[in-house]
Amino acid sequence: MFTSNPFAELSASISATVMQTYVVVMIILVVAGTLFDVVHKKSAKYFFQNWRKAKSQGTDVGAGEMVSIAVQTVAVDAITSGEFCNLRRRIAHLLAMYGFVIYAVSTTVMVFGYAAPEAATPAILPQLWYAGALMVCFGGYWFWFFIRVDVVAEGHSPLRIVRADLFILSLLASVTLGLIWAILQAAGSLWTTVFLGAYILATTVLFGSVPWSKFSHMFFKPAAAFEKRMSKANGTRSNLPAPSDNPATFGSTRSQPNHY
């Protein structure tokens, strides 16, 4: 089962062209949703205004130092999520982040390269797909059930869900239902079609809700981290907001709980 391409099996009932079109639409939704988020919240405008202000008020940062800061940003803030002080939260975030990358890339490769029934899928691709999905589930459920803020202690119901929860819940729903669908399909279960529909629905919500979820923050955070390091280097203070301490923001640092 773990060496079988679930999308190749699916092509017996749904053509590879339809699957490929769906993936392209999801990519367009992410791009469009991120651009809408940038324009609506004026994130890019605020970022560059703050950048110019800091540059005019602070000392000049040489090209070599700027490159060094960029490397540090990528190595510490992007690759290892070094902004998270809580080790458990950081590990959970990294598991989900890298799991999602592996899961998404392997999905795309299998759909576009090996979805045809006659195509022989390299065993490593479905293995990566399952491994990535399991990493997302482990990191995501660990965060949701064991690291997430104790809402009872704050006087809220443990069943309370806010808009900021949309990303992590839709991500977990999509990946979990995808795993269940693939397992049921391999077993020839009658429930395969039901879970396939649920998988498609959850995935559409995940990628279609970018303007209202935390999905686009993965693109903003490296830029904000770079700006903060640059501000520190030139002796000015960054005016960009600190990372959200909202517990519903997957992997965020926490100080005083801030629900919205």
Task: Confirm if 50 and 239 have CB atoms less than 8 A apart.
Answer: yes
Burial code (b: 16+ CB inside 10 Å, e: under 16) for 104-130 equals: bebbebbbeebbeeeeebeeebbebbb
Task: Confirm if 213 and 167 have CB atoms less than 8 A apart.
Answer: yes
Residue 16, pLDDT above cutoff 60: yes
- 60 confidence band (pLDDT: 50, 70, 90): low
Give the model confidence (pLDDT) of 99-108 as tens digits: 999 999 999 9
Strand (E) positions, the chain?
none
> What's the token pair of residue 147?
């690291």
Give the model confidence (pLDDT) of 196-209 as tens digits: 999 999 999 999 99
Residue with tokens 């089962």: 1
The burial of 198, by beta-carbon neighbours within 10 Å (0-12 exposed, 13-18 middle, 19 or more buried), is given as middle
Residue 95, pLDDT above cutoff 60: yes
pTM, entire model: 0.77
Q: CB count, 10 Å around CB of 32?
A: 13
Give the model confidence (pLDDT) of 137-196 as tens digits: 999 999 888 887 656 566 666 677 888 789 999 999 999 999 999 999 999 999 999 999
The closest alpha carbon to 16, from 186, 24, 106, 131, belongs to: 24
Counting every residue written for the chain, the total comes to 260
Q: CB count, 10 Å around CB of 17?
A: 11
In angstroms, how far apart are the furthest CA atoms of the chain? 67
Q: 136 or 35, which is more confident? A: 136
Q: CB count, 10 Å around CB of 157?
A: 8
